[in-house]
Amino acid sequence: MPRPVPADLLEIAEALVPDAPLASASLAGQGNMHHVVLFPDVAAVRISKRPDAAAELPRRAEILRAVAAADLPFAVPSPLTPVSTFGEHAAVAISWIDGEPLPEGTGDPAAFSLLLEALRDFEVSPELKAVLHTPRRYADGLGWADILSDEVIPRLPSQWREGVQQRLDTLLALEEVPARLVHGDLGGSNVHFGYDGKLTGVLDWDMAILSDPAIDAALVATWHGWDLLRASVDKETYQRAWAWNDAIEVGHLHAVFTGKPLSRVDGFVASVVAWLEQR
């Protein structure tokens, strides 16, 4: 839920959007990387929380710029200002996206079919390709399969190891498909709809990558339901989505898609175990 904006963040937001009505400002729900100051119907201002987020913000702004410029059947936030530095913070103002997210377990399959098809068929420009990561299965110990097999599975409680390894092997046995634009965090608050039920926009492209489109399909299913996904995509995409989710839950994978060591392996493993206990 939106909250009052601390004075230091409001000062940064005002510097980037000087004509915005300050009385309307609120702080969006907590995110890991950024504070987001909302000026309804005007703009949103993303302000980095940590040095790594500040360093990444220019790349992420370029992703928004490139995706928003494409002819997609929904809106994407577009940078309204350059990325600016305010002490330890980096910040950028982005365009406002209308609509509201849907409650968990709800949605129109036709709308999600449109969304997933648009992402699958997106023509990635050279400029966008230059700023998107392409996760690799194996990469000198830092591929996503390397990290899961070498760092995560051995730390799982013994009763889970064999099953997770088997499901990972099933995922790895899938034939690789051409890499396409993957949003990486579909569902929840990032997909907005109008009062008429029409898809209006997709927010928060921080986890965008070039990879298998079925990853996005799995992300849709984990929030909106697997029955909805079954009605939204073809059988092959559904099966691939299930495989992407089945090993450790697809939402965990962004942490191993970076090509970097896991910063908090024990915390990551604990999160996976919590999911395994509930599945």
Q: Do residues 116 and 133 lie in contact, with contact meaning Cβ atoms separated by under 8 Å?
A: no
Q: 74 φ, ψ to 5°?
A: -155, 165
Residue with tokens 């103002």: 93
pLDDT tens string 217-236: 999 999 999 999 999 999 99
pLDDT tens string 61-101: 999 999 999 989 999 999 999 999 999 999 999 999 999 99
For the chain, the average pLDDT equals 95
- Domain assignments of the chain as residue spans, ordered by start: 11-95, 109-278
**Amino acid identity for residue 86 in this structure:** F
Q: Do residues 83 and 58 lie in contact, with contact meaning Cβ atoms separated by under 8 Å?
A: yes
CATH architecture of 11-95: 2-Layer Sandwich (3.30)
What is the third-level CATH fold of 109-278?
Answer: Aminoglycoside 3'-phosphotransferase; Chain: A, domain 2 (3.90.1200)
The pTM for the full model equals 0.95
Residue 29 reports pLDDT greater than 80: no
Q: What is the mean pLDDT of residues 253-257?
A: 96
